[in-house]
């Protein structure tokens, strides 16, 4: 009897071990799939940021080297200069809300000023129930915020206390449900509940403006207990591409332009960092080997466009500072010929050399050396009399960009952040040196989505916090925030704002996000169709239509440059195989993507539109200076000329004219930007099959 009992127990133990081993393998496979999915989302996101930087570097090139009278230069000049109204008194008059009446039919919250806790609480409740705040109150809040921000220092200092914890939040990116969930779990900001919000409040999500208004409201009520750091998305140029500009204009068609102009000023006045107890530094992006908090503390963060009249002898660029941190203008060397867009294609080789040379010079001026990937001291080719002033400006500009755009890396050193196209990658040795030099013990930063909402690196001296849950897709990541007491030890609270996600099993959650990532990747493959076929044919000299999986992976990476494990992804992307070989011709037919709603005979133009969808929309919104959502035929033509010059390709006027006529649905001579972009939005049909 005892022997049988022993055997049954040992069998149960073996069975339990087998189940445990199977479950661990099962979870490990899911984790591999999750990480692969994550890499897809992140690679596509960073590729878009690179694209944006390249586009604005090109615009900067036009501004520096094209004739001031050229129509192309005039089309984009307004994004590189301060708004025409520059005196504070004139700003007050321009943004005066008193002439805007609130009608009796308005059902949203009515606010009184100065703002009170009760007023902001009403605002939170209204936004929770999807009510819209009247434009008069929006302008009032923004105006009061601008006045307050102007007296705040570049670096906010606050002290911890044994009786209350400081709450630190990362990126929110327009996801109001995450902010509301944080307030529900943690409580509303108050003197007893101080908060630090670490930038990137806007873009991508649908409720960026509501988030700003709530945060600004609490800032006005508790200016000593609510601290807002600037992120890289608090930038009017970035907003053109990533949705915030479109959001504001869609919600406030009459007063949207005023709101955007005031927000542009507000963003430039946001503080750059926060320090707790002189021991914990909080900044959006990070640091570099040249980071100096003393320099950051005194930098002219709002980037005044025009210096005083007494600044004679200072280089033009030093006087004409640019508010956006996505572009850094530099005065061209003496004797550099100015060109017009119309002769770009006749001197194609010269254009290629000029743009590349200019981009290299910009990186060099920012402290980067592209040849060796090492950061060097800023070099200046300005007038010797102004060299010191220009070098100071270059150093200040670099400090701000590094603070907002940089990312940590596991290796020692400091190198250009080629993945994002701005800022740097810094290693643990740089963390030790910079924190040690400033007598700090921890750097808290955001800027990167993390699967668990937070992540330590650099021997736990750098902490990333990200508060936008489900950032890429439902179930893709948790959001998190930090509670920090007098001991300065961070405690984390994680959450998922989506109820759908909370109800999914681990397998369902991974499957959901994986399908979404593969759909996004198929769209990328589709828009590079011609380039991929050319790359595949290099491995197929006999034009058989079949190549090996390794050649398929090499060719795909050479075109998309996403740094993904293509051989691992191939079974999920390619079903057309013959004896272990890839039938790439058949595979291309399998990429089921919707055709446009319009008939376009020029396939090269169609591919250009697909591939540069975001760039095209960005240029449209830059050219739409009155923010009407409509552009004329001539502005449409100029948009395509700018894009073709940026891409170094030729698109004829006839092709552009035919396209314009085909999408002018009501034949009034104007083109609706939103309708145009929607007509050419890609949809993966396999997702609906």
Catalytic positions? 233
* Contact by Cβ (8 Å): 618, 240: yes
Q: How would you classify the pairing of strands 166-169 and 155-158?
A: unpaired
Distance between CA atoms of residues 517 and 515, nearest Å:
6
Distance between CA atoms of residues 473 and 44, nearest Å:
13
List CB contacts of 31: < 8 A, sequence separation 6 or more. Answer: none
Distance between CA atoms of residues 654 and 506, nearest Å:
54
Distance between CA atoms of residues 379 and 361, nearest Å:
9
Q: How would you classify the pairing of strands 490-495 and 479-484?
A: antiparallel
Q: What's the gap between Cα 10 and its chain centre?
A: 57
What are the phi and psi torsion angles at 240 (to 5°)?
-65, -35
Q: Cα-Cα-Cα-Cα dihedral of 538, 542, 543, 549, to 10°?
A: -60
Two tokens at 667? 């034949």
* Contact by Cβ (8 Å): 426, 287: yes
List CB contacts of 271: < 8 A, sequence separation 6 or more. Answer: 149, 152, 153, 154, 155, 156, 227, 228, 229, 230, 301
Q: What is the 3-state secondary structure (H, E, C) of 542-596?
A: CCCCEECHHHHHHHHHHHHCCCCCHHHHHHHHCCCEECCEEEHHHHHHHCCECCC
Two tokens at 176? 């109001």
Q: Between the CA of residue 2 and those of 7, 15, 109, 301, 326, what are the distances in Å?
A: 9, 20, 77, 81, 77
Distance between CA atoms of residues 276 and 229, nearest Å:
13
Q: Which of 80, 107, 85, 84 is nearest to 96 (CA)?
A: 85
Distance between CA atoms of residues 620 and 121, nearest Å:
38
Q: Largest alpha-carbon pair distance within the chain?
A: 104
Distance between CA atoms of residues 618 and 424, nearest Å:
25
* Contact by Cβ (8 Å): 670, 660: no
The helix (H) or strand (E) run that includes residue 289 is: none
Helix (H, G, I), strand (E, B) or coil at 48: helix
* Contact by Cβ (8 Å): 119, 220: no
369 pairs with which residues across the strands? 374
Distance between CA atoms of residues 532 and 518, nearest Å:
17
Distance between CA atoms of residues 475 and 592, nearest Å:
25
């Amino acid at each position: 009897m005892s022997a049988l009992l022993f055997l049954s127990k040992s069998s149960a133990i073996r069975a339990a071990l087998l189940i445990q081993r199977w479950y661990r393998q099962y979870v490990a496979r899911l984790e591999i799939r999750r990480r692969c999915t994550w890499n897809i989302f992140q690679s596509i996101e960073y590729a878009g940021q690179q694209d944006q930087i390249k586009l604005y570097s090109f615009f900067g090139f036009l501004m520096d080297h094209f004739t001031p009278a050229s129509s192309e230069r005039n089309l984009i000049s307004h994004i590189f200069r301060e708004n025409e109204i520059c005196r504070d008194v004139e700003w007050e008059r321009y943004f005066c809300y008193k002439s805007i009446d609130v009608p009796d039919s308005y059902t949203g919250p009515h606010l009184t000023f100065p703002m009170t806790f009760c007023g902001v609480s009403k605002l939170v409740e209204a936004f929770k129930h999807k009510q819209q705040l009247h434009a008069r109150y929006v302008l009032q809040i923004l105006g009061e915020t601008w006045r307050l921000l102007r007296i705040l220092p570049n670096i906010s200092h606050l002290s911890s206390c044994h009786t209350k914890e400081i709450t630190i939040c990362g990126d929110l990116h327009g996801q109001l449900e995450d902010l509301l969930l944080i307030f529900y779990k943690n409580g509303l900001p108050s003197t007893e509940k101080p908060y630090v919000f670490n930038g990137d409040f806007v873009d991508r999500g649908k409720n960026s403006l509501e988030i700003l208004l709530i945060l600004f409201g609490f800032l006005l009520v508790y200016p000593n207990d609510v601290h807002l750091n600037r992120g890289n998305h608090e930038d009017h140029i970035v907003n053109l591409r990533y949705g915030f500009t479109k959001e504001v204009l869609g919600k406030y068609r009459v007063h949207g332009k005023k709101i955007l102009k005031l927000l542009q000023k507000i963003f430039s006045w946001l503080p750059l960092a926060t320090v707790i107890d002189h021991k914990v530094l909080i900044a959006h992006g990070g640091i570099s080997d040249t980071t100096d908090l003393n320099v950051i503390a005194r930098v002219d963060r709002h980037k005044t466009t025009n210096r005083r009249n007494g600044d004679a002898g200072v280089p033009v660029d030093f006087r004409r500072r640019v508010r956006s941190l996505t572009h850094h203008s530099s005065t061209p060397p003496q004797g550099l010929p100015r060109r017009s867009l119309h002769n770009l294609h006749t001197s194609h080789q010269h254009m290629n050399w000029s743009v590349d040379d200019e981009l290299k010079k910009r990186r060099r001026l920012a402290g980067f050396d592209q040849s060796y990937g090492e950061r060097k001291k800023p070099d200046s080719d300005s007038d010797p009399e102004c060299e010191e002033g220009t070098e100071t400006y270059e150093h200040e500009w670099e400090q701000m960009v590094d603070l907002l755009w940089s990312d940590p890396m596991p290796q020692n050193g400091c190198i250009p952040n080629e993945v994002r196209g701005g800022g740097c990658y810094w290693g643990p040795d740089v963390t030790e040196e910079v924190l040690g030099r400033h007598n700090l013990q921890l750097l808290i930063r955001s800027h990167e989505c993390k699967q668990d909402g937070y992540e330590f690196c650099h021997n736990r001296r750098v902490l990333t916090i990200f508060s936008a849950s489900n950032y890429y897709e439902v179930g893709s990541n948790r959001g998190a925030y930090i509670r920090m007491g007098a001991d300065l030890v961070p405690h984390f609270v994680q959450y998922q704002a989506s109820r759908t996600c909370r109800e999914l099993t681990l397998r369902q959650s991974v499957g959901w996000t994986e399908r979404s990532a593969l759909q996004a990747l198929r769209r990328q493959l589709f828009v590079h169709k011609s380039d991929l076929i050319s790359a595949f044919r290099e491995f197929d000299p006999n034009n058989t239509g079949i190549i090996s999986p390794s050649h398929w992976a090499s060719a795909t990476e050479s075109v998309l440059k996403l740094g993904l494990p293509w051989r691992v992804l191939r079974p999920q992307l390619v079903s057309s195989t013959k004896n272990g070989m890839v039938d790439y011709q058949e595979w291309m037919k399998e990429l089921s993507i919707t055709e446009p709603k319009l008939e376009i005979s020029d396939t090269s133009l169609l591919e250009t539109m697909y591939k540069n969808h975001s760039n095209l929309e960005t240029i449209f919104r830059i050219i739409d200076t009155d923010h009407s959502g409509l552009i004329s035929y001539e502005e449409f033509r100029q948009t395509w000329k700018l894009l073709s010059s940026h891409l170094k390709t030729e698109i004829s006027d006839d092709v552009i004219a035919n396209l314009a006529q085909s999408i002018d649905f009501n034949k009034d001579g104007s083109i609706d930007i939103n309708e145009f972009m929607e007509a050419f939005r890609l949809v993966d049909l396999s997702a609906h099959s």
